[in-house]
């Protein structure tokens, strides 16, 4: 059994993608995932499975589409080891310490296309950005709500689906995953 973390995009954000976590946990358990837990209502699952990450991604995407009518949501899967690498590679430890709720990591469905780094470098704002493989670190030092660094800008710049979590959530998911690792 492998422990995996599923990060769902566009769940319970801004009144869209309504999905009760209790119902999602139950559906995942009925579909064969084990020790399923969720963290906050924005689509974070931690579980164990004997299936591959690719198979689990397809399973959860199918549940979102067929059972909950959420066909446009992306499912990004990470292992505890991958989350630990994200935490260890944080280029903005000062932000993680001082304002963990404003320090975000966007988990990318795949590596961004050529030119993504240049597109991000063209962004002029107070945020600090660092692209590292299949994740993007963002320090929203002046707040997320007022930022002009929007999901649509990131989608265009990265040309790959992504979903962001704040530093507190990243660390909590890693803690939860490690708690059920064999």
| pLDDT tens-digit readout, 114-139 | 888 888 888 888 999 999 999 999 99
- The helix or strand, by DSSP H or E, that contains position 26, with its residue range, turns out to be helix 21-30
Are 64 and 134 in a shared domain? no
pLDDT at 19: 81
> What beta strand segments (E) does 9-168 contain?
34-38, 44-49, 75-78, 103-108, 128-132, 135-139, 162-166
pLDDT at 2: 96
Pick the residue with more confidence: 41 or 138?
138
In a domain, 161, yes or no: yes
- Domains: count for the chain: 2
In a domain, 45, yes or no: yes
Are 73 and 97 in a shared domain? no
Are 74 and 88 in a shared domain? no
For the segment 28-42, the average pLDDT, to the nearest whole number, is 94
């Amino acid at each position: 059994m492998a422990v995996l973390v599923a990060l769902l995009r566009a769940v319970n954000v801004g009144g869209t993608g309504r999905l009760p976590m209790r119902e999602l946990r139950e559906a995942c358990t009925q579909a064969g995932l084990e020790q399923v837990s969720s963290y906050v209502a924005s689509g974070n699952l931690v579980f164990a499975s004997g299936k591959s990450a690719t198979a689990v991604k397809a399973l959860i995407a199918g549940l979102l589409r067929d059972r909950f009518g959420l066909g446009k949501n992306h499912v990004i899967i990470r292992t505890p080891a991958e989350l630990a690498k994200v935490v260890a590679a944080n280029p903005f430890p000062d932000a993680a310490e001082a304002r963990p709720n404003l320090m975000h990591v966007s988990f990318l469905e795949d590596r961004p296309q050529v030119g993504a780094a240049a597109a991000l470098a063209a962004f002029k704002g107070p945020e600090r950005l660092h692209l590292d493989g299949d994740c993007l670190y963002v320090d929203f030092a002046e707040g997320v709500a007022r930022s002009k660094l929007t999901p649509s800008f990131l989608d265009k710049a990265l040309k790959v689906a992504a979903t962001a979590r704040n530093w507190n959530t990243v660390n909590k998911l890693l803690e939860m995953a490690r708690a059920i690792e064999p």
